Amino acid sequence: MLSQWLKDSNYTVVLTGAGMSTESGLPDFRSSNNGLWTKEDPSKIASTEALNQNVEMFFEFYRYRVLGLNEAHPHKGHEILAKWEKAGLIKSIITQNIDGFHSEAGSENVIELHGTMKKVHCQTCGKEYGNEKYAKEEFICECGGTLRPSVVLFGEMLPEDALMKAAEESEKADLFIVLGSSLTVSPANQFPLIAKQNGAKFVIINMEPTELDMFADLVVNERKIGEVLKELDK
């Protein structure tokens, strides 16, 4: 059914979450077995409060994530999505992920709602560096300011241009596919509903149930995204 919907659709939009990158070896946040937020409280460690009140712990947490990210790479599922974009099967990817894997795999129309952990920037002067600064435990800018990953921290607003573009894409979608997200975090979890309200078919491919399953036209649980995409790609 989904492969037919993909073929029949004129404007397919994909929303990805951390479940898209677990098969690359990166932990997600809320998977019951080893999600990051089952061990740490995000508001205490991935927030502006942590950056301002507990910067040593903040540095350590994000250095650990940068080291993990720099060892990992996009998997076959990312490559299939990039191929589908080139074939016109999908028009854009809205991602909550900060790993840059969609672009690295060749996808072009990628909207990064939560920024990127491939880069860090100075809190004071805004100068950007590659994330290897954190790998090398260099946390201070040439100007003396503090360097932080260019991700959206808890307590921060999302980039306005990404929000606008994601809303535009969601309104244009006639098929909206979620891959690997618990859909617990807003405003990312609003985009499937915008698409649905505009008449799109709404599909969720996610190992575990999500908060929006009851609104979906098709839910695929207990299946790995990489396998489902390979099957659809036949």
- Site for ligand APR, rule CB under 6 A: 17-19, 22-23, 28-31, 35, 42, 96, 114, 180-182, 184-185, 206-208, 224-225
Which residues face 202 on adjacent strands? 176
Residue among 35 and 145 whose Cβ is closer to ligand APR: 35
DSSP-derived secondary structure letter, 34:
T
Residue among 25 and 124 whose Cβ is closer to ligand APR: 25
* Active site annotation includes 102: no
Residue among 9 and 19 whose Cβ is closer to ligand APR: 19
Distance of CA 122 to the CA centre of its chain: 23
Closest C-alpha among 23, 34, 14 to residue 205: 14
Q: What phi, psi does 140 have (nearest 5°)?
A: -120, 135
Non-local CB neighbours of 217 within 8 Å, separated by 6+ positions: 201, 202, 203
- Select which of 75, 78, 102, 114 is catalytic: 114
CB of 171 to ligand APR, least distance (A): 22
The Cβ-side half-sphere exposure at 44, using a 13 Å CA radius, reads 7
CB of 17 to ligand APR, least distance (A): 3
CB of 10 to ligand APR, least distance (A): 26
CB of 56 to ligand APR, least distance (A): 21
| Pair 52, 156: CB distance under 8 Å | no
Position of minimal CB gap to ligand APR: 19
Which residues face 56 on adjacent strands? none
- Enzyme catalytic residues: 114
